[in-house]
Structure 1
Amino acid sequence: MRTEAAKRVELVFSLFDANGDGVIDSDDFDLMTGRVLEAAVASDDGAKAAVRAAFRRWWTTLAMELDADGDGVITLDEFRPFVLDPKRFGPTITEFAGALAALGDPDGDGLIERPLFVSLMTAIGFEVENIHALFDAFGPDADDRILVTTWATGIEDYYAPDMAGIPGDRLVTARAV
């Protein structure tokens, strides 16, 4: 695994641990889902249901694949070596990427405006400065919008263990500790 990917793993674990108790469990995914849906006020019920299902699948897949001792929680040690395994998590990541990116496009024009992007990414737990850096790396148009497909691809790239120098790496730089 590349150094950049290892840093992304650490950040993802801290975000998935939405309640900050040092482990990931079902309640963390419920908390994060609620935050994201709260930020998506303009999205339709179908898009919200898709994100809810994608978060639920994330948790179910993680629990089945990574909860080595069956205690209902995932520690960083259980999480770190496997989470970026495309064979295990590829379909889950693809579903999540598509659902989250679509949630950012409530008017269905195929474009995501910066304010909603920032709101959704903040709800997940990313740092605002890093969110803006990521959006800029996606190459917004003159109206400060990015393609839904650009964001979905960016999410998938973020979880790829062999990727480096990707826009998503901006999410791990300058992170406050």
Structure 2
Amino acid sequence: MRDEAAKRVELVFSLFDANGSGVIDSDDFDLMTDRVVEAATASDDSAKAAIQAAFRRYWTTLAAELDANGDGVITVDEFRPFVLDPERFGPTIAEFARALSALGDPDGDGLVERPLFVPLMKAIGFEEANIHSLFDAFGPDAADRIPVATWAAGIEDYYAPDMAGIPGDHLVSARAV
């Protein structure tokens, strides 16, 4: 696994640990889901239902694959190798990527405007300076929009163990002071 990928995974784990307990459990996914849906003020009910289903599947997949002792929690050591395995986790990430990127396109024009992108990413827990850096790395057009497909592909790349130098690496760069 590339060092960049390991850093991305560590960040995702810390964000998914929404209640700060040091482990991931279903309550964390409920908290994250609620924050993202709340931030998606311009999205319709079907888009919100899709992200809710994607978060549910994300948790269900993690729990089924990693919670061997049935305690209802996932540790960072359990999370690390699994989440970077495209064979085991790829379809779950693809569903999540489609659902999250669609929330940023409530008018259905295939483009995500920065003012919709930023609150969604903040709701997940990313730092605002890093969010803007990521959006810029996606190469927005003159109207400050990126294609939905670009964002979805960027999410999938984020979880690829062999990827480096990708836009998603901007999310784990040094925090702005």
Question: What TM-score range do you get, normalising by the shorter chain?
Answer: over 0.9
The residue number in structure 2 matching 1:122 is 122
1:41-75 per-residue CA deviation (whole Å, 9 max, x = no partner) reads 11011100000000000000000111232210001
How many angstroms apart in 2 are the aligned matches of 1:99 and 1:79? 22
List alignment gaps of at least 5 residues for structure 1: none
In structure 1, the residue matched to 2:131 is 131
Unpaired runs of at least 5, structure 2 = none
Contact 1:5 1:163 in 2 (8 A): yes
> Identity over the aligned pairs, expressed in percent?
84
Aligned to 1:20: 20
After TM superposition, the score normalised by the length of structure 2 is: 0.98
Alignment of 1:33-112 (within 5 A): 33-112=33-112
Q: State the SS of the aligned residue for 2:81.
A: coil
How much has 1:137 moved relative to structure 2?
0.1
- Cα distance in 1 for partners of 2:78, 2:111 equals 37
Structure 2 CA distance for aligned equivalents of residues 81 and 43 of structure 1 = 34
Cα separation, 2, equivalents of 1:62 and 1:92? 10
User: Could you tell me whether the CA contact under 8 Å between 1:68 and 1:78 is conserved in 2?
Assistant: no
| Alignment coverage as a number of residue pairs | 176
RMSD of aligned alpha carbons: 0.9
Opposite residue 81 of structure 2, the aligned amino acid is P
**Alpha-carbon distance in structure 1 between the residues aligned to 2:72 and 2:51:** 22
Per the alignment, residue 8 of structure 1 pairs with 8
Give the distance between the partners of 1:81 and 1:94, measured in 2 at CA: 18
TM-score of the superposition, structure 1-length normalised? Answer: 0.98
| Per-residue deviation, 1:34 | 0.3
How far off is 1:31 after superposition?
A: 0.3
List structure 1 runs of 4+ shifted beyond 2 angstroms: none
Separation in 1 of the partners of 2:156 and 2:24? Answer: 21
Amino acid at match of 2:20: G
